[in-house]
Structure 1
Amino acid sequence: MASLAHRLSNLPIPIFASGLRFRDADADTGACESGRVQIAWPDRPLLETAMKAVVFDAIGSPQDVLYLGDLPMPRIGDGEVLLRMVSASINPGDFLFIQNLYPEPKKPHFPRQIAGNHGAGIVEAVGANVALKPGTLVAFSYYNSWAEYAAVPAAWLIPLPAGYPVERAGQMVNPITAWDLLADSRVQPGQWLAVTAGYSSVSTMVMQFAQRRGINVIALVRRSRDRLDLKGLGATAILDLSSLKVGIREAVMDMTDGAGLNGIIDNVGGPVSGELIRTLAMGGQMVINGGMSTERFELHNFDVLLSGLEIRANIYRYFFLPPVEADRPVLREIVDIFGQPDFHVPVGGIHPLAEFELAVTNSLDRADLGKQIFRM
């Protein structure tokens, strides 16, 4: 295959007239002495045809199959954007992707599938029919985010204001998920909502959104931790399962003055969820967002039927399909709230790609520390 320098040098328009330049390239032929062709746009860093990325070649445990590799720079076509990645988050869904647990089309393709589905980058170049300008900071949920560069269809991108905190930009999946979970729970101001895995990033964001709407929240935790003040983040009450002296139903009914719950956002599953759902008031909602427990929960049909309960699943809205134009106003609202300094975002660690093993291990084994972030 002809080199990138050779292919571009044979285009019918001059390279330099189009704003591209090569480092170490002959001005007449475009030939390069170095083995790595490097491209740059004026006033922006040089782009190389090789980049670092966290990749995998087989299905399996993330700790077993991931490695840091050198890959060619991604190429963009019509409607696509080349991003210089600035941050990417590590999320449970990334591990499900690595283990090939999602349905089509969310499947890995080998060899050298780049890991990561969520991140943020700066627009470096655009294909035809793209309105975004180079230099724009954007967030996305797509593929291939654990890399130095990514090619992403423009439709999947969420533009962010200049100066937006990049560690937050790379985890926009979490506030969008929290916003949708709260909406799906249908809990109204003054009513009661329970969230399991209370220290998780998504749960803490649900609490903060709920507090803004006047919704009472009970945060369920396996054990209380001093490092994070859940009541300060919006929890009305904390149900510590490690020190519980009565049944979950009795504890919840006491906390709600006998009213019971109007909604549950469940990230765990197992017996706790089975008990918790029996505290729902007539017409209550249970939204399932995760399954940290390896156990099942059990219900009798009458547990659901006689209380008019609804159990539904939440799948991140942009995991399979890009944002539509009608979503843009609410996305701007979420971006604005999430970027405010008083909105607490627990970050457990910031890592270069080379520290992917530590980042992945902390994400799997120490989720209580907060979100693990790659900073490119």
Structure 2
Amino acid sequence: MRAVIVETPGDVDALTIGEVETPRPGPGEVLVRTVASGVNRADVLQRQGHYPPPKGVTDIIGLEASGVVEEVGPAVTRWKRGDEVVALLAGGGYAEFFIAPEGQLVGPPPGVDLVSAAGVLEVAATVVSNLEVGRLSAGEVFLVHGGAGGIGTFATQYAKALGATAVSTAGSADKVRHSLEHGASFSFDYHGDWAAELKEATGGADVILDIIGAKYLELNVKALKPGGRLVIIGMQGGVKGTLNIGLLLSKQAMVTATSLRFKPLGAKAAICRRVEQEVWPMLADGRIRLSPETRIPFGEVRRAHEQLVGGDNVGKIVLVH
């Protein structure tokens, strides 16, 4: 089968397409013929050598994909050959076929084609599971960085649907406008003093979902309300930051970091079920709208990565097979 191969980590030139052996499903696993693959920041980090897959997982990049069931392994009960599915993966999505545990497959959202569906599950699972970690509740203030990206576009709408006041940061006037049109009550250009603007507008954040990491660590803690919760899910801004423990203590705040990729299979299956039961109806009735989408042919995977990190991208990028 065709797959994206990274022999030596590096820039986009490290991405090549070659032939590898088609995997076979084991007990509880499903082989899927890929229709489309979601492109995520974690894919870029893996390409660069900063985010290796869990032990025993394929080193083929790709954390989400959609397709049609080709073969089921022993003990699989829900799926059969020919079923349309969307997958949450620990790796392997950038390939002609991929293997997924049965519990990490769901049907596509009602009315959403398989190409668009490829870019929904990982985003939804990330946001839903991490806002549970952050214990976001109705009436609280929620801040997400990168409000015009896939995570940000979904998170502002989901937080609003939960009854929270959604706030974002974004990198341009157009991206600020996009975020305001997708659930955010306030959106601040991160080139300015967003922490001060947040405090003036809302008094601070009860929960922050952070994709940046080290660069924003101190600012994020300053932006929290007393008893606030900072949930770090990315490290675009580096891996080592300075934390004022005195400030954290004075606010009685929490700082935590999570990775969906490294959760146990059972936990990921439970998250997928929750997304299917809770988020798919929100998409069906319009409480959440899909992110704007850029479709790029699978053979142009380098262009997909260039666009994702170029700074101008809005919404989700999917590779179409």
Above 0.5 in TM-score? yes
Shift of 1:331: 2.7
Residue in structure 1 matched with residue 316 of structure 2 by the alignment: 371
Q: Distance in 2 between matches of 1:69 and 1:157?
A: 26
1:329–1:84 Cα change, 3 Å: closer
1:266–1:70 Cα change, 3 Å: same
Match of 1:96, SS state, is helix
Query: Is residue 2:154 matched to residue 1:205?
Result: yes
Query: Is residue 2:253 matched to residue 1:281?
Result: no
Which range is displaced more, 79-88 or 319-328? 319-328
Shift of 1:270: 4.7
Q: Distance in 1 between matches of 2:238 and 2:73?
A: 45
1:347–1:161 Cα change, 3 Å: closer
Which range is displaced more, 72-81 or 297-306? 72-81
Residue type at the aligned position of 2:297: P
Looking at both structures, which has the greater relative contact order when contacts are Cα pairs under 8 Å and sequence separation is at least 6? Answer: 2
Q: Distance in 1 between matches of 2:94 and 2:301?
A: 9
Query: Is residue 2:198 matched to residue 1:252?
Result: yes
1:144–1:250 Cα change, 3 Å: closer
> How many residues align structurally?
316
Match of 1:306, SS state, is helix
Residue type at the aligned position of 2:249: L
Shift of 1:308: 0.4
1:226–1:101 Cα change, 3 Å: closer
* Alignment counterpart, residue 299 of structure 2, candidates 332, 338, 354: 354
Q: Deviations over 1:142-162 (max 9, x none)?
A: 322111222333343233467
Task: Name the structure where helix makes up a greater proportion of residues.
Answer: 2
User: What is the aligned-residue identity percentage?
Assistant: 24
CA contact (8 A) 2:292 2:315 kept: yes
Which range is displaced more, 329-338 or 319-328? 319-328
For structure 2, the residue ranges without an aligned partner over 5 or more in a row are: none
1:284–1:342 Cα change, 3 Å: closer
Shift of 1:196: 1.4
Match of 1:225, SS state, is helix
Q: Distance in 2 between matches of 1:253 and 1:320?
A: 34
Q: Deviations over 1:177-232 (max 9, x none)?
A: 11123222223222212211222210111100111122112211233216953222
Residue in structure 2 matched with residue 31 of structure 1 by the alignment: none
* Alignment counterpart, residue 124 of structure 1, candidates 66, 70, 75: 70
1:311–1:367 Cα change, 3 Å: farther
CA contact (8 A) 2:207 2:224 kept: yes
Query: Is residue 2:187 matched to residue 1:238?
Result: yes
1:250–1:80 Cα change, 3 Å: closer
* Alignment counterpart, residue 137 of structure 1, candidates 84, 96, 110: 84
Residue in structure 2 matched with residue 32 of structure 1 by the alignment: none
Q: Distance in 2 between matches of 1:327 and 1:180?
A: 7
1:308–1:366 Cα change, 3 Å: same
Q: Distance in 1 between matches of 2:93 and 2:14?
A: 17
For structure 1, the residue ranges without an aligned partner over 5 or more in a row are: 1-50
Shift of 1:311: 0.2
Alignment of 1:297-316 (within 5 A): 297-316=241-260
Match of 1:139, SS state, is strand
Residue in structure 2 matched with residue 150 of structure 1 by the alignment: 98
Residue in structure 2 matched with residue 190 of structure 1 by the alignment: 139
Residue type at the aligned position of 1:281: K
- TM-score, normalization by structure 2: 0.86
Alignment of 1:316-355 (within 5 A): 316=260, 318-324=261-267, 326-327=270-271, 329-332=273-276, 333-338=278-283, 343-355=288-300
- TM-score, normalization by structure 1: 0.75
1:120–1:299 Cα change, 3 Å: same
Residue in structure 1 matched with residue 129 of structure 2 by the alignment: 180
1:375–1:269 Cα change, 3 Å: same
Q: State the Cα RMSD in Å.
A: 2.7
Q: Distance in 2 between matches of 1:367 and 1:108?
A: 32
Query: Is residue 2:15 matched to residue 1:63?
Result: no
Q: Distance in 2 between matches of 1:328 and 1:67?
A: 31
1:81–1:224 Cα change, 3 Å: same
